[in-house]
Amino acid sequence: MTTTGVAARVSTVDLLGWTTEVFHALGLPPGRARASAAALCHGDLTGLTSHGLANLTRLYLPLFQDGRADPAAEPVVLTDLGAAALVDARRALGLWQATEAMDNAVDRARTHGIGLVSVRGATHFGCAGHHTALAARHGMIGLLAGNCGGQRIAPPPGGTVAMLGTNPLSVAAPAGAGHPFVLDMSTTVVPTGRIRAAARAGESIPPGWLSDVDGNPVTDPAAFDRGEAQLRWLGGDPETGGYKGFGLGLVVEVLGALVSGAGNGPSRDAYSGDRGRDDDIGYAAIAIAPGALRHGKSFQRQSAEVFGALLDCPSTSESGVRYPGWHEGERAASHLRDGVPIPPALHAELNEVAELLGIGRL
């Protein structure tokens, strides 16, 4: 309850309950408020704090205030082909709506082996890995690829104006008895949240995240919002695969925006330096059910073998070999036991929200 000192520890149950109240107070029906809370708190639970409750005042409250997200929206199914469907989310809050889309893809995959829910008119869905991990819990593979609507953040290699968003991509799969495999990545080297967090903290960033217009490394994170540095693609320079990162960003744009007809980043409007806005986001939620195609038990055995062999891999480092999703799973387990650390400044900020909405303090 103080703004300085050590982080408060809040139980997972209390954190989810309080955040559900927030979304309910904002006008979401109870089930959707609960799903939204689970998606937002996923960031705090797993240690991906740049996508957690810190985004409540920075991102989600303004979305509702500006009418860019509609708490009462009812998404509409525009096309239903059994295995695949096209949905207009109509500005529904992405935090719950992406969970619903992934659940729906899982249902389709159970019957058809693969399921696709293609969504336009969407808003921010938080951590992509929260939604894909749901598919893994059903013994399936989940894939979520979402563009940033009309928002443009990073230029193509050789280009001088931003054309694409950070275009996140997540794939999750069961990994035997261990934490599920969850890859959750921006197709740029890092998401913008990492740059801005460093700028707020007054820290420099490693070479390779930003470059100036001539391609030289920039280590001052504040240069990004001053318009003096460009965010780089995964792979970095052309000879180490920068075109692959750019290509993966385009894959997400194709799967997210072109399949659904959502807003797209690359446009001639960009030539004037217009960076667009992250409205009309498009994404693809895909589930694949190995258990429908082959014997489910043998799939589980093989995935346990693959991920188990990786965890026990001979290593030069004391922390050993881990796969994406493992550390997040460990953190969630320890936070469930010991409470979720909420830094004092964030705690104060959230209690201001509580006061504003007339709900109890966290």
Q: How far apart are CA 97 and CA 60, in angstroms?
A: 14
* Beta carbons within 10 angstroms of residue 134's beta carbon: 24
Q: How far apart are CA 362 and CA 19, in angstroms?
A: 9
Q: Residue from 177, 214, 297, 358 that binds a second copy (CB under 8 A)?
A: 214
- Distances from the Cα of 230 to the Cα of 129, 159, 215, angstroms: 26, 10, 9
Q: How far apart are CA 349 and CA 57, in angstroms?
A: 8
218 binds a second copy (CB under 8 A): no
b/e string for 145-162 if b means 16 or more Cβ within 10 A? Answer: bbbbbbbbbbbbbeeeeb
Nearest CB to a second copy, comparing residues 23 and 181: 181
Query: Which amino acid is it at 207?
Result: P
Only one of the segments 23-31, 34-42, 91-99, 299-307 lies at the binding site for a second copy (rule: CB under 8 A); that segment is 299-307
310 binds a second copy (CB under 8 A): yes
Name the token pair of 320: 């050993």
288 binds a second copy (CB under 8 A): yes
Only one of the segments 5-13, 17-25, 318-326, 350-358 lies at the binding site for a second copy (rule: CB under 8 A); that segment is 318-326
Q: How far apart are CA 147 and CA 168, in angstroms?
A: 7
Only one of the segments 51-59, 221-229, 262-270, 349-357 lies at the binding site for a second copy (rule: CB under 8 A); that segment is 262-270
Query: Using CB under 8 A, which residues numbered 155 to 174 contact a second copy?
Result: 155-161, 163, 171, 173
- Distances from the Cα of 269 to the Cα of 5, 44, 121, 264, 275, angstroms: 47, 37, 20, 11, 9
Contacts with a second copy by CB under 8 A: the residue count is: 94
Only one of the segments 29-37, 38-46, 286-294, 340-348 lies at the binding site for a second copy (rule: CB under 8 A); that segment is 286-294
Query: Using CB under 8 A, which residues numbered 92 to 131 contact a second copy?
Result: 111-116, 118
332 binds a second copy (CB under 8 A): no
305 binds a second copy (CB under 8 A): yes
Query: Using CB under 8 A, which residues numbered 21 to 40 contact a second copy?
Result: none
- Candidates 323, 326, 334; CA nearest to 45 is 334
Nearest approach, Cβ of 21 to a second copy (angstroms)? Answer: 35
293 binds a second copy (CB under 8 A): yes
Q: How far apart are CA 313 and CA 337, in angstroms?
A: 28
Radius of gyration of the chain (CA): 20
177 binds a second copy (CB under 8 A): no
Only one of the segments 3-11, 20-28, 38-46, 238-246 lies at the binding site for a second copy (rule: CB under 8 A); that segment is 238-246
Q: Residue from 47, 176, 236, 341 that binds a second copy (CB under 8 A)?
A: 236
339 binds a second copy (CB under 8 A): no
The 64-83 site mask, x for binding a second copy (CB under 8 A), equals --------------xx-xxx
